[in-house]
Amino acid sequence: VADHGRRRDDVRDLCRRQGVDVLLVTAPANVRHLTGFTGSNGQLVLTPTDVVLVTDARYEERAAIEAPDLRRVLDRDWVGAALRIAAVGGPETTLGYEDHHVTARTAGALVERAAAASLGTVAAGGVVEVVREVKDEAELARIEGACAVTDAALTALFERVRVGWTERDVARFLRDRFEALGAEGPGFDTIAAGGPNSAVPHHAPTDRPLSEGDLLKVDCGARVDGYHADTTRTVALGDPGERMREVHGLVLEAQWRGREAAVAGAAAGDVDRACRSLVEAHGLGDRFVHGTGHGVGLDIHEAPAVTAGSAATLRTRTVLTVEPGVYLPGIGGVRIEDTVVVTEDGPARPCTTTPRQLLVL
């Protein structure tokens, strides 16, 4: 069971340290994380002593069911409602808002109306995301559930997929499996890329049939109770040739090094460096065209960014992906990705465990 009260206390601690008296939370995943509310219109006002969910009449019942412990206000003018709640703290109160989420127009109106009410405002986007980087037990259970479904679906796929299947067939098979295994469905659009298409990092599935010697790169993940899995495997339909075997071996080694580097206390950028330095040493640095990974949770892409120079510190129970890739345009590409959780000591523990070595079907 999710402990929303404890999550809110963690956010309050961080707000206090940043000089934010009252936090207005508007990003839906952040509202869900701190309340359990899943409606499309919900804002959370978090004060040192109060917590109020602002929504509208359409969601009155859902809010009462999903967030029964909260004070609820029905008001379509949620900016006005937030200012009224913040004003209880007196004229010196500083209201933090999620500047990375609200539109410039809404932010402008908020700042103006706050000033008229003698309240201070401060951009506080990212505060909740920092707290979300470390998962609690309830979250880990959901992520691990999503990863187990994803592994089972991939295993079934690799038992069945053969020459002649299209990329769309692969994506459809996985979606059906995810649902049959009890997940909500795919957490994001599956990438299924065969042959030369595997060289496109974010290829959208087409009707191209798989043929003998093709690499098949599959990037997918189920969603369970709002939480995501994210994994990529690259397999071959028959012999992919010497060059692509080498590339696969290189990416496999880079991915292992990245997982080994994902230890508590490391910077996220260290994980990127661990993968990238090996690829660079093989002269393929310019073919590793994306970051090494990202946090995973209620959002498929969330903090921390696992990219070059990222200073975010990995903490115990941070969940992230490690997904180096090497892409040779017109020929083929290999990516190997796992969702992993940072442990108290030792390397990160993979939550996705489908075998990574080159599977030749």
Residues in contact with Zn ion by the rule CB under 5 A: 219, 230, 321, 337
Task: Look at the block and give the residue holding tokens 């017109």.
Answer: 330
What CA–CA distance (Å, rounded) separates 72 from 55?
Answer: 7
Specify the residue, 64 or 289, whose C-beta has the smaller distance to Zn ion: 289
Q: How far is the CB of 321 from Zn ion (least distance, A)?
A: 4
Q: Is 335 helix (H, G, I), strand (E, B) or coil?
A: strand
Q: How crowded is the C-beta side of 245, counted as CA atoms within 13 Å?
A: 9
Which amino acid appears at position 92 of this protein? E
Whole-number minimum distance, CB 232 to Zn ion, in Å? Answer: 5
- In whole angstroms, give the CA distance from residue 127 to residue 130: 5
For Zn ion, which is the closer residue by CB, 21 or 272?
A: 272
Choice between 66 and 323, CB closer to Zn ion = 323
Nearer to Zn ion, 247 or 300 (CB): 300
Name the minimum Å distance from CB 20 to Zn ion: 31
Alpha helices in 88-136 (DSSP H): 104-116, 127-132
Q: How far is Cα 282 from Cα 261, in angstroms, rounded to an integer?
A: 19
C-beta of residue 228 within 8 angstroms of C-beta of residue 146: yes
Which residue, 98 or 337, is less far from Zn ion as judged by CB?
337
Rounded to a whole number of angstroms, the minimum distance from the CB of residue 220 to Zn ion is 7
Name the residue nearer to Zn ion (CB basis): 167 or 219: 219
Closest separation in Å from C-beta 291 to Zn ion? 9
For residues 32 and 298, the answer to whether their CB atoms sit within 8 Å is yes
Residue 3 CB, shortest distance to Zn ion, in Å, is: 27
Quickly count: other Cβ atoms within 10 Å of residue 320's Cβ. Answer: 31
